[in-house]
Amino acid sequence: MIISILGIVAEMERKQIKERQKEGIELAKLRGVYKGRVHGSKEDLRTFLSKPKVAKTIEYLKKGYKASEISRIVGIHVNTITKVKKMVG
């Protein structure tokens, strides 16, 4: 019973945090501080794949290296390597 009460209290607190965050974002938007991502700032596929580190990643993927090994060698995050895998093939 105590655990369920604590769970309910935690859920209420989380709701309050989200509400305060939403209010803060709305106030910041009114002041012109919060603008979000600039339109057109997304990188296109060709630009992304032409980067030197991405090109090296593709080479190592073709040679059969694991993502963790490529990450250490090239110096990019494993998630980026996964993204490259999806794009290439």
Distance separating alpha carbons of residues 27 and 47, to the nearest angstrom: 36
* Residue 74: CA count within 13 A, CB half-sphere: 23
What is the pLDDT at residue 52?
93
3-state secondary structure 3-42: HHHHHHHHHHHHHHHHHHHHHHHHHHHHHCCCCCCCCCCC
pLDDT at position 40 over 80: no
**Mean pLDDT for all residues in the chain:** 91
Q: Is 65 helix (H, G, I), strand (E, B) or coil?
A: coil
Name the pTM for this structure: 0.54
pLDDT at position 34 over 90: no
